[in-house]
Structure formats: structure tokens, C-alpha cells
Structure 1
């Protein structure tokens, strides 16, 4: 009996050692740790997607919190989305303030009365901390109703994706231009990046860079800076830069960008480079 007990203990000890060795030699299962930093990095990656790829037809977007709401303005409609409903109305002409960059869209239909006020005033999203260039107020009520609902939030214009390209000067003041006029070097050209509303390029002698101010049908080239090299034909470069900074409106057709202002049409005409 004693021998049987000793044999049983030996067998149990032997198999116990085998199981322990399996546990020690087995490779741990690979796992991917997801941390708040990882999630934040992925969120930033999504935010950095090119604006040029986000095309839905709207030219202005606004959002707000507490409660959550969203606004999109299209050429053919205005859409307000709330937690309870989506309200779609025809557009209206903007009523513009005389002494500041404030626009109001006053919309009235059989079902809804709505005012949208867009003020060019820096706005910070209370939840995300994202800074936008416009403060937006939306107030609406059902036609014939007494209760007016007011939403406040932040917004921005969506820069025309067609601007996102490389452009070379073709005409200035209605006349074709040539390299010889600009000292024999390349013609003035620029690359417009709507992801950050910046542009950079060549002004005829010097390199140039600057920012874009964009609203619907409004385009201005701002904070223009350049190198300080001296070249033949500097007067043409100066004329080009003056026209570039004087332009306020634009149009695009036939692979060409036309820059104008209130006093003169087609100050500069650029051709798109494929």
C-alpha cells in the first residue's frame, strides 16, 4: 500500500512538472495596448485629412455644444441639425453690416422662421478647444409659434477645393505675359494649399509666400512675404505683387484662375498646371 502511494505521488509530480514547463516556454499572446494618447493621435490623424477630399457642396459649416447642433450652408439650401430634428430651408441673401464683417441670413418659410448670424470673430469650441475664425448664432422657431430656440457656436468657410493646385501667370492687366518681361526667368507661379489656406511660389525674381483669406466669392492674398534678390525686370515683379494683393474676387473656368477686384476685372489670369 505504501509503495502504491509513493508511486502515485511520483506520477502526479512528474505531470505537474510537465505542465509547469509548458507554461514557462509558451510565448505570451501578443496584444495591442490602446491608451488615451493612442486615441488622441488617431483623432489628430483624422483631423489632418486633406480638406480637398471633404467635398459635400457646402461653403460654410458651424457646430455647437450644450446642446449639440450643426449648421451647413449650401448654394441652394441651409441645413440645421439638432439632437431632435433636421431643418432644411431655402437660402436667402446675406444682410451685411456696414462697419464690420457680420452677415445675417433671415429665412422664413411656411414652417420655420430662422436667423443665422455669422460674425468674423475668433471662437473657441467649449468641448474640443478648437479655434475657429467665426462666431455663429442661430435662432429659430416654428412659424406661428411662441418659443424661440437659440444656438451659439463656431464656424468656418470651406475654401473652394478647385483652388488647390499649381497656377502659372498667363495674363496681367489683360495682356499676355512672357518670361522676358520678368528678366528671362520663369513666369510668376504659385501653389495654393487649401488645407492650411497658404500659398507659395515665384514672383518673377524672388520666392514668395503668404496666406489666403477666403469667404464665399471672396479671395484675398494676405501677409505676402518674399526674398530680397535683385533681378532685371523688377518693375514687372512689383506690378504683379501689387495686383495679387489688390485682388478680392475670383472665378475659375477653362483651367484658369481669374483674379479681380471692384475696380478692375481680370487683374491677373493664371493657368492651371497639371
Structure 2
């Protein structure tokens, strides 16, 4: 097992607050593309008002990454008379980090930080760190995006960006760069020498070209000279929120005469069929409820990688006030049970489709103004 970084190798006669010398080997830019260690361990320091996270390569390698002030630097270990010394880059991106026992010296460009001290809460064993990482992953699966031709997959978790492409043949894992706001979404951008990576997430509904599943975000990757497009986010986020009011079923508009009911069990304000989605802790399943026309209904929804299924549904059994309303309710419930997919159009309309087509088209209910 590799020696713990924080062990002091030799007795120290003093503690330097800065490090002089020429630029050191390695690369350093915000969100550098050097690979992170794969053992999930990290040590955190407090350098004045700045919180710093240091990760050394697993297995005793000479690579490391340092996160400070929203930036990530890829470093390499260099010879030192005592402690463990790392550096990389040049000019304003020249970084030097020298750890000695529970203290460390840090400089970035011309800035020399106050003496860094390891945080007591960060002095976990490797086993503790691995368990903590596993628990965090279970509670926070992170943000996911994917695309096709060639297949690629992106995962963003707190502090980490992981990318697979070329059907898994190429893998990249790096510290998560600082998030930048762009029109309609946000961006992560990283450079490391001649290599560059940019991830743009735009809040615009996207339909996967292979599965047909709809997603809330359109994602564009720019890796060096390659541009890849795909979809991201949780499909359920397109369904959750305000209630959906049904406009048509099987291409037939829900007319005003059919849609207005005064059944006391439904309420005079009810206007035809509606849907309201509510997630359980796992967004891939939850409850769907609303008006079926004459009655109220409730049931479950399930989202898989390619399908949306609704039901079984259960509801009240009040009689409809007209045959038109009874026919509309029956048509709606049959169509709901047949749903196997959905999409959200550019104009915001929700289309629920089944094997035979015949979509249910619905729109969000506008929020009412307070008097």
C-alpha cells in the first residue's frame, strides 16, 4: 500500500511559504485533462481562506491533481529533500505544491498562499474514503448525457467529469471545471496543453436518435477537433411540475362541450382530462393522477430506457352528466393504458404515444394569478 502523502519523510528545520525555481514538468490549466487517481481518495487543506483538495495517483505514480479556487491543475511529482513536492505549468498557471507532514506550501503564478494545513475531517483512511465515495454515488448519481454514432456517455458528479466515447474504447476522467453560464444553459471547458474539452448543456428538449426517448437537455461535446451531439438530464424532469391539460386524443380535439363538467365529485372548475406526474425518490417511477373527465384517477408511471408506461389506473365511479362526457372519459382511460412513450415538442406540447399511435396531446396549465 502506497505511503500516505502526509507522512513527513525527514525532520524539518523550517517551513517555507513559497517555492522558487524554474517551471516544472507537467501540465496545468483549469480543469486539466490529466487522469484522476482511481482509488477515490483525496486530502483537503485550508490555505488561508481557500479550501484545497489534493489527489495523488493510485499505486505510487507521479501524477496528481490539485483543486483550488474553482480551478483544477494537473501536476507531477518532482525531487525534494523532504516531504512530497509537485509542480506543473508556467507563467500564471505555474503551480507548486510542497507537502510536509500536516502542512503544505502552495503557489499559483505569482500568488503565494498562506501555509496550508490539513483539515482534521479529511484525515480518513483509504477505506473510509472509498466507502464515503460509494455512499455519495448512491445518493447522488450525478448528471448524465449520451449520444450516438459514435456512442459516447458523459457523467458529471460533484468535483468529477467522466467521459467515455468510441463505444468505450476512449475514457477520460478529470476534475470538474468551473461552471460557466451561456445562453439557455451552461458550459464546462477544460484545456491541457494541445488538448481541449468543452461541454455545452442547453435546456432544450432532445430526442435520442436510437431509443426515441425524450430528455430535457441538448448536450454538445467538443473534444479537440471532434464535435459530438446528444441528450442529457432525466427524462422525468420533462413530465414533472405543473399539471398537463389534455387538448386532443387520437387526433380528435377535446371540445368545450365535452370538456366542461359540473359533476360535484369532480368540481365545476374541472375541464376535461388532465395529468399530474409526481416522482418517488427515484425519478424513473412515481404517481400519475388527475381528472379523467367525470372522475378522478390515480396510478403509477414507469420510465425505462426506451418506454413510458402508465397504470394500472384506479378512479372514482361517479356517473357522467352526458354521453359525450362518458365517451370522452372511456377514450382517455383506454389511451392512457396504451401509452408506451412520450415526447415534448418545441412548442411545449406533450405527446403520449402507444404502439398504434393515437397520441394524447396535452399542455401545461398556466399558473393562476393571485387576486
TM class by shorter-chain length?
A: 0.3 to 0.5
Higher helix fraction (1 or 2): 1
- TM-score normalised according to structure 2 size: 0.35
